[in-house]
A and B are shown apart, each in its own frame.
Chain A
């Protein structure tokens, strides 16, 4: 089975601090893979290594079996790796619509020179970009905010706008860095459903850092748990959740007492997965 993303033996150190060491990770096609771990475990660092913001000391990153370790970040984005940030990764000072326009940058059909000196092509293309940005905003029901500045918008809406802009980069693989931070359990649950639907409609593969464990269990197909820069354990969400080391490192004791029957949960999840697979086939 081909994987969309494969991280092999990645390690990075900042001075004496080992942030990541020997991390191996795979994201297969059309799966939502969760990445959990306590604070400082190196989750966001791993994201930065995957997107090329950091260059790891060791290891390789493969995107669809292509070694992308040496590519700069913007080239990786152009390949189809979209990413959200823990603190909202939007350009303040630009409006919502303009953010969607910036996000389309790698696919713009005119050169920088044409843009600077006002080539006729740039005017035609700009109109198309705007139409497409409006379409993306419309998809997320954000059109009424198109001309709004980001300042003063509620946090949850900003998160949604960020996801919209990432969709505007035309991603194939989406890296979500704590998409539910700052949300209550209800909102988080709904976001999870939205992610599942997004994957179905837009054929996305996702890797997601998430602290909200019920959401991870609910949405993810596979989970990696990082601790101190290493992969502590990996597996099906429930296995990882019930793994004693994970509980000790991350969840605390209360998770053990959770009364939900795993078999029941597993069955429901399997059923849903089978249904999705069946649905997606014409």
Chain B
């Protein structure tokens, strides 16, 4: 017979949750170090053009995290991200070239940092404005608005000649000491690490939880005391900030910013890479973004190696078609992702990431199905015992207990609806006995306090909670009542 004191398997599991041994931790740390060390080693040793591609991948990863903030965390669609990145890139280049005079004198690190800060601020502002719109409109209509927003900026802000120097583009000289492709790749990786940290820090704090709650249901979030408006704007502003950082890095990587770099096709690629990477999954988004950033470069030699595409598709190999090939393949991948594996890449590799995070290697997340051990009834019986209530007793087997319960005023009232139980009116109260087949016995429940309401009888743990939760005790309330 299950009683309230019986330690359920799930409770035990909670008590000593599985932790890796020291060797386990060493192994995990080693693998993590190997991955990071591999990236660093590659960045340091590869040829210049491959280092350039690594910086492209890192920038794409930052953009992916930026878009993920809107798409994955707050659950809104943004098709105007090329505008945020583009505006930020131009602002960064404009500051470095026109204000700090980097074009001829070279660029110092502090100038680079300052222009990146300006870029981040401009991206945050641009996204913040869109966030204000998103307060009123959502879903498909918001997607349309963001699309229009992106296209309009493309054709207005990107045409301002003092900012963009027309078709020639605004130069952006890399900071001294980081001019080489390998060195600049390190710089982008450092910024990527910073963005990852902010993303992680946000999601583990109240901000991330609040944003997820807002995504799930705004009324519920509000009733939890969350400022729905504020957190929506925070998500958009942060997204714009990341996009701004990416824009600045983009400018300095290309060393010359042209409006054509920020077309709608770019945004499409970015949306696709976030979906394929896995909405709301940090690692997945980074992997997916890197894949999409490099995919075009891998595709070309691959096609050449295969002897080119089949005749009618040959036009796809022509210069300039590459971006569209990425989109077509990306769209196909996105469809496959949505149909077959909505979690995306992030979900596919989650066993590895969970293992690195200190869990057992398993294909399913921990805690899944764990709760089946305790039934509702057991949970409730336990609660009653904790509250000082006597668990329901069977009237047939424990009449005395029932009377006692009636005396103490706990189950003093006959269930009105329960007409069948009141076969003999006028008799002693028939106590309604839920779960008649399995009455949890009172004696097994250990030191269950009597429900007499005396504060002294309240167990210590309960009083701790009471002190925390209850603002005033009942006595003060009584005083308030009778002035």
Contact = CB atoms under 8 A, between A and B. Distances in A.
Interface of A: 1-2, 29-30, 48, 51-53, 72-74, 77-78, 80, 82-83, 85, 89-95, 98, 101-103, 105-108, 110, 112, 114-118, 122, 126, 129, 132, 135-136, 138-149, 152-154, 156-157, 160, 165, 167, 169-170, 172, 185-187, 189-190, 193-194, 197-198, 200-203, 212-214, 217-218, 258-260, 265, 268-269, 271-272, 275-276, 279-282
Given A92-B216, A172-B471, A279 B417 contact: no
Interface string B212-237: 11001101111111111111001000
Contacts of A154: 375-376
A83 B210 CA distance: 17
Contact of A105 (B225, B372, B417, B481): B225
A147 B376 contact: no
Given A85-B219, A105-B224, A143-B14, A189 B451 contact: no
Interface in B11-66: 11, 13-14, 17
A142 B417 CA distance: 30
B392 A190 contact: yes
B478 A281 contact: yes
B386 interface: yes
Interface stretch (B125-133, B153-161, B297-305, B377-385): B377-385
A147 B451 CA distance: 31
A89 B11 contact: no
B207 A135 contact: no
Contacts of A152: 369, 371-372
Central interface residue in A116, A193, A271, A272, by most chain B CB within 10 Å: A116
9 contacts: A92-B216, A95-B367, A112-B207, A112-B231, A147-B370, A153-B371, A194-B380, A203-B466, A269-B413
B226 A218 contact: no
A30 B412 contact: no
Contacts of A165: 224
B207 A281 contact: no
Given A29-B481, A73-B222, A189-B415, 17 more contacts: A1-B481, A82-B223, A102-B210, A102-B224, A105-B210, A105-B224, A106-B225, A110-B205, A115-B205, A139-B461, A144-B11, A144-B373, A149-B365, A152-B369, A189-B434, A218-B416, A268-B413
A2 B480 contact: yes
A2 B224 contact: no
A260 B416 contact: yes
Contact of A139 (B365, B366, B386, B412): B386
B413 A201 contact: no
Interface in B445-483: 451-455, 458, 461-462, 464-466, 468-475, 477-478, 480-481
Given A190-B380, A282-B475, A116 B469 contact: no
Interface of B: 8, 10-11, 13-14, 17, 197-198, 201-202, 204-210, 212-213, 216-217, 219-231, 234, 238, 365-376, 379-380, 382-384, 386-389, 392, 409-418, 422, 425, 432, 434-435, 451-455, 458, 461-462, 464-466, 468-475, 477-478, 480-481
Given A115-B207, A144-B13, A157-B379, A280 B474 contact: yes
B225 A169 contact: yes
A219 to B, nearest CB: 9
A201 B387 contact: yes
A280 to B, nearest CB: 4
A98 B477 contact: no
Query: Which residue, of B386, B416, B474, has the highest number of chain A Cβ atoms within 10 A?
Result: B416
A259 B425 contact: yes
Contact of A201 (B204, B205, B466): B466
The 7 closest A-B pairs by CB, nearest first: A279-B453, A115-B205, A186-B434, A106-B225, A73-B222, A77-B225, A141-B382
B384 A194 contact: yes
A276 B366 CA distance: 44
Nearest to A139: B465
B11 A143 contact: yes
A117 B417 contact: no
A90 B366 CA distance: 21
